[in-house]
Chains A and B, each alone.
Chain A
Amino acid sequence: MNTSLARMKRSVRFASILVVLLGSGGLWTGSASGQRAYVMDLPGDWTIDGDLPSNAMLISLQGIANKKGPALYFRYPPGWAFKFTTPVFNYYKDERSISFSELGSPEDAIAALGGFAKGYVVWDKSVRTSLTVAFTVAGLEDAIVVSEEFVPLMEQNGLKEIEDFRGDFDGMTDYEIYSWAIDKYWARCSRDFVIWMGGASGKQMMPGVADFGIYKRAFFTDLSADPADSLEYALHRKILGDMKPTAIVMGWHSYAKDTEGQHVSLISSFGLRMEGLNTLPNASFSNQIPTTPGFRFTNNHHIGRDATVVPEEKVYIAAIQTDAIGIGAWEEAGRGRIPYAWEVTMNWTWLFPAQMQFFYETATENDYFIGSLSGPGYMYPKPIPPDKHRALIREAANLMKGLDLRVFEIMDYSEGNRYVGNIDLTREVIDRYYAGMPDAIGFVNGYGPANTSDVRDGRPLMSYDYYLTPTRPERDAVLDLKELITLNPVRPYFLLIHVRESSAIERVANILDQLGPDVEVVPLDVFLKMAGNSPTFIPRHLKEAGAAEYIMTDE
């Protein structure tokens, strides 16, 4: 196609999109009602030889187009970690009166929205890291991310080449590539957000969060947090050290390079916070949909803040699903059948307000929200410098107030995890939470079982006593729980269960139903009130963080 003709067509097409979007109220007026947007289904093969090239192109288009207002939303395929893209789409459509037009193909999407872009950047399919760098370029230059087979499509739509990484990174290590990218782009990138484009590795990438990084002009990387990888580790530290104190690291660590514990520990040591995952969908869209006027986040409390409940001589169980409400069983059958607590990713209240409203409005009486995770975002308390930690706890307490939350959850994988080391807290760390969250009725600690507990003025800090995996056979889980009950003959016994997010509630209910008549499943706030008023657990804490030996101390 003649270039000037193509550009003319592109200009006409883009003008017509603007007329369509603006003509119905516009998507960037701050009010979602009566507005229009596009929606598209993404296919589910995230390999380089599969759908990744077209999906990466579309997600970059989303980030660019949504800079001018929420214009493009994706329904992610079955099996995607965050399961709410269709229900939230329906919520936006039905409850928030956003009128969506379906896009049937990548070509349709580029034709409809390519006009928001200033050009394209070509990544090299033989060097996976070039895609991560291309996302950085996409945000800075409004460049659609394409692999070479999509170059003709770009040209047909009048888009010009901004960067071409084919062959540029041959033989280079990730450290060398990211060093080059930092030299070239870091000065222009956001200091509020940085994207760790980790998670899947090798031939796969699942860059759901890339639209948000592009929208915020963030730097993209997956540098290692493993000190043994000294070069990447040093570069990782440089990036974190350059961020603002309130910055958020979004995405996830690379499963091929380090551990979640190493990654979040390093972020925490800078007093920064994490918001997962690399798969987080439609963030650039949902960031711009506010709550409805007058809406207030209201939790389903089952007991007054100052009420007293005297427990019976029996076993009380409370179940909590962590790992964010969006990636778990929220949309699975059975929700509402039993009392269930859900970990709320509190920053969503300002990052994705309407999406958070969706969860609050679809909660049943048995769904109870709790604050998380160790601070205003995902972080570990032990590596955080104490002064920064106190400020972060205050910030988390304010978020809890806005979300009507009274229970706060703490997790620390800086010295171990479910298999090795410890996930316990020191007395000093516990003191900070009690002092900084005077309105909390209780605290929860752990992921797998932990050994830390406390109680002050009727406000308990309790660790998980059981971790229910999605793969544990029901019969074994029942025997496990009965064994725990045998091992804790004192009554009342308060048994706190962490349910891994992919366990369906029906399954959990079936397991708990088999524990016998002396066992009662209660809402978490009632559970904590009873445990705080009649504590039968032994207060314990970790003697010293970072010590060579794992030593617990009784109070």
Chain B
Amino acid sequence: MVSAMVHTSFRVMAAVAVLLTLNGCSPGPSDPTAWNGIYVLDKEQSDDIDQWSSVQLSLSASTDSVHIRRDFASGRYKRFDSYGVPVDGVAHDVPQENSSKWLDNVHIGVFFRAGEPSTLSAEFSDDYRTLTTELLQTAETSTGQAEIVTSRVFELLDDGSQIRVVEKRSTRDEPLTFVFKRKTEA
């Protein structure tokens, strides 16, 4: 399972964000903590996720860092990946911890081998209304290895009630769009 924490300061930042929220400082449009919460995929408004019955997105952000976790489920089977990086637009190492199928499409013959390098960058823009990430991974395929660059643009919409993610992969001809509805506050 992928799990990468890059900055030790991240947890402190997240805790501060939570405290601010609890103290009644409700996040405004220019506040990264407005992203914080759990969101559930709206399958009607999203591209097909055939192999999964549900996807949940958990976000925790501050002015310094962001932590993104995705939980996939199909019946009794559950998987997740999780990344935490500074929001400085710089590619940070997030090495593959365990060998794994490709959670973005478990029905494709793409695998990730433990220890393979990968990087992730993240950056807020548009007054914290947009979060852009770029993930570089080295995949194992039947004929060898291949690089996959996955760019995701997250947009916080409708006063924070939903997130739209437009995903472009270097290996796929067309972008994918996913819409998540807010399930919980931070």
Binding site for B on A (CB under 8 A): 259, 417-420, 422, 448-451, 453, 462-469, 471-473, 476, 479-480, 482-484, 486-490, 493-494, 536-538, 549-552
Distance between Cα atoms of A420 and B98 in the complex (Å): 12
Distance of A550 Cα from B77 Cα, bound (Å): 17
Residue of B with least CB distance to A535: B143
Inter-subunit contact A476/B109 (CB<8 Å): no
* A479 with B173: CB separation less than 8 A: yes
- Which single residue of chain B is at the shortest CB-CB distance from A416? B101
B79 near A463 (CB under 8 angstroms)?
Answer: no
B113-130: CB near A (< 8 Å → 1, else 0) gives 110000000000000000
Q: Does B47 contact A (CB under 8 A)?
A: yes
Residue numbers in B under 8 Å from A489 (CB-CB): 143, 146
Q: How far is the CA of A329 from the CA of B44 in the complex (A)?
A: 29
- The answer to the question of B30 belonging to the interface, with a C-beta cut-off of 8 Å to chain A, is no
Complex Cα distance, B51 from A418, in Å, reads: 9
Quote the shortest CB–CB distance from B28 to chain A (angstroms): 38
Interface: B110 (CB within 8 A)? yes
The answer to whether the Cβ of B108 comes within 8 Å of any Cβ in the partner chain is: yes
Interface size class, chain B = 20 to 34
Q: CB within 8 A of A418: which of B107, B111, B139, B174? A: B107
Q: With the chains together, A418 CA to B160 CA distance in Å?
A: 34
User: Is B184 interfacial (CB-CB < 8 Å)?
Assistant: no
Contact at B144–A552, with CB atoms within 8 Å?
A: no
Does B79 lie within 8 Å of A448, measured CB to CB?
no
B108 contacts A490, C-beta separation under 8 Å: no
Scoring B residues 129 to 164 as 1 if CB is less than 8 Å from chain A, else 0, what string do you get? 000000000011111101010000000000000000
Q: How far is the CA of A466 from the CA of B74 in the complex (A)?
A: 18
Contact of B114 among A462, A484, A537, A549 (CB under 8 A): A549
List 24 contacting pairs A-B, 8 Å CB cutoff, sorted by A: A449-B106, A449-B108, A451-B109, A463-B109, A464-B109, A466-B109, A468-B107, A472-B48, A472-B50, A473-B48, A476-B47, A479-B173, A483-B169, A483-B172, A483-B173, A484-B108, A484-B109, A486-B146, A488-B144, A493-B143, A494-B142, A549-B98, A550-B100, A551-B114
Q: Is the CB of A552 within 8 A of B111?
A: yes
A417 to B51, CA, bound (A): 12
Chain B, residue nearest A488 (CB): B143
Residues in A whose Cβ lies below 8 Å from that of B173: 479, 482-483
User: In whole angstroms, how far apart are the Cα atoms of A469 and B108 in the complex?
Assistant: 11
**Residue of A whose beta carbon sits closest to that of B77:** A419
Number of A-B contacts defined by CB within 8 Å = 111
The smallest C-beta distance from B104 to any residue of chain A, in angstroms, reads 10
Contact between B51 and A469, CB atoms less than 8 A apart: yes
Q: Are A418 and B106 in contact (CB under 8 A)?
A: yes
- In the complex the two chains form, is B107's CB within 8 Å of A487's CB? no
B99 at the interface (CB under 8 A from A): yes
Contact partner of B174 (CB less than 8 A), chosen from A451, A467, A479, is A479
Report B106 CB to chain A, min CB distance, Å. Answer: 6
- A-B pairs, 5 with minimum CB distance: A465-B109, A449-B109, A419-B77, A467-B107, A490-B143
* Chain A residues within 8 Å of B74, by CB: 419
Contacts of B26 in A (CB 8 A): none
Minimum distance in angstroms from A555 CB to a CB of chain B: 13
Interface flag for B9 (CB, 8 Å): no
Residue of A nearest to B49 (CB): A476
Give the distance to chain A from B170, nearest Cβ to Cβ, in Å.
Answer: 8
Query: Which residues of chain B are within 8 angstroms of A472 by Cβ–Cβ distance?
Result: 48, 50, 107
When distances are taken between beta carbons in the complex, the residues of chain B under 8 Å from A490 are 143-144
Main secondary structure of the interface of A (DSSP, over half): loop
Q: A479 to B158, alpha carbons, bound, how many Å?
A: 31
Kindly state the separation between the CA atoms of A259 and B75 in the bound complex, as whole angstroms.
Answer: 11
Contact residues in A for B100 (Cβ distance below 8 Å): 550
- Point out the residues of chain A lying under 8 angstroms from B106, CB to CB: 418-419, 448-449
A476–B51 touching, CB < 8 Å: no
Cα A463 to Cα B114 with chains together (Å): 20
Is B143 touching A538 in the complex (CB atoms < 8 A)?
Answer: yes
Collect the chain B residues with CB atoms within 8 Å of residue A419's CB: 51, 74, 77, 79, 101, 106
- Given A480-B105, A538-B143, 13 more A-B residue pairs with CB atoms under 8 Å apart are A418-B51, A419-B106, A449-B106, A449-B107, A450-B109, A462-B142, A467-B107, A469-B107, A479-B174, A484-B110, A487-B141, A488-B143, A489-B146
A490 to B145, CA, bound (A): 11
Of the candidates A453, A465, A486, A552, the one whose C-beta lies within 8 Å of that of B171 is A486
- Alpha-carbon distance A489/B142, docked complex (angstroms): 11
| Candidates A418, A463, A552; contact of B140 at CB < 8 Å | A552
Evaluate whether A549 and B99 lie within 8 angstroms (CB atoms) in the complex, with A419-B51, A469-B50 already known: yes
A453 and B142 within 8 A (CB): yes
Instruction: List, in ascending order, chain A residues with CB within 8 A of B48's CB.
Output: 472-473, 476
| A550-B143 in contact given A449-B107, A484-B109 (Cβ < 8 Å) | no
Tell me the smallest distance from the CB of A471 to a CB of chain B, in Å: 6
Residue of A nearest to B102 (CB): A449
A494–B143 Cα gap in the complex (Å)?
A: 9
- In angstroms, Cα B181 to Cα A440, docked, is 53
Q: Which residues of A contact B108 (CB under 8 A)?
A: 449, 465-466, 480, 483-484, 487
> Which chain B residues lie closer than 8 Å to A486 at the CB level?
146, 171-172
Among B107, B141, B169, contact of A448 (Cβ-Cβ < 8 Å): B107
Give the CA-CA distance A538 to B146 in the complex, in Å.
13
Q: Point out the residues of chain B lying under 8 angstroms from A259, CB to CB.
A: 76
Q: How far does the Cβ of B178 sit from chain A's closest Cβ, in whole Å?
A: 13
Cβ B99 vs Cβ A487 within 8 A: no
